[in-house]
Amino acid sequence: MAIFADQIFPSGGEGSAEGGIIRIFHKTNNQNFNSSSNIARDDSTPLISEGIQIFSQDIALTNAGNKLIFISDIYGNEDSNSGDNLVFPHFAGSTCFFVGFEQSTGTPSGENYRKNSHIAMYEPNSTSTITYSIRGGVDAGNYEHMESTSYSTNGNYNQLRRSTLTILEVSSSW
């Protein structure tokens, strides 16, 4: 059995009087990369210059009062030691509005790979186009995205492993 988008909400979107999902944006990333740009483990807010960009999407809301819901599944690793913090700050322009976090500890260190799932909401209160992005980083060593590990080499699963981001624009009356 399949569920189609127009079974969740009418294909033209729902009017603001009813509330609901207005638009859906979906992105995937199965690129293999790593970065030594770390995100400090301290009491400061992550900066747009820290870590490495995994996703980016320009969005102008259809109504200034609408909300955005971010649903992400991101793969990450740092394998130079056996205890690290994977950090996934979410940005609206250069403003950090959410930080996904996971302690990734395993032995041996090459098995620290994790799929990190996060849900965040943001209310920009604007119809101007804003670039939303998610960055990845670790507190020390190199952040790795989709790199080969002993259990998950890039040749396995026909390279169908990927990080995903779904952004829902939700009516302001919901």
Length of the chain: 174
pTM of the entire predicted model: 0.82
User: What pLDDT shows up at residue 93?
Assistant: 97
User: What pLDDT shows up at residue 117?
Assistant: 93
User: What pLDDT shows up at residue 161?
Assistant: 77
Pair 122, 91: CB distance under 8 Å? no
In which residue ranges of the chain is pLDDT below 70? 1-18, 79-83, 105-112, 148-159, 173-174
User: What pLDDT shows up at residue 62?
Assistant: 94
Which residues are within 8 A (CB) of 76 and not within 5 positions of it... i.e. 6 or more apart? Answer: 86, 88, 102, 104, 113, 114, 116, 136, 138, 143, 144, 145
Backbone torsions φ then ψ of 108, nearest 5 degrees: -70, 170
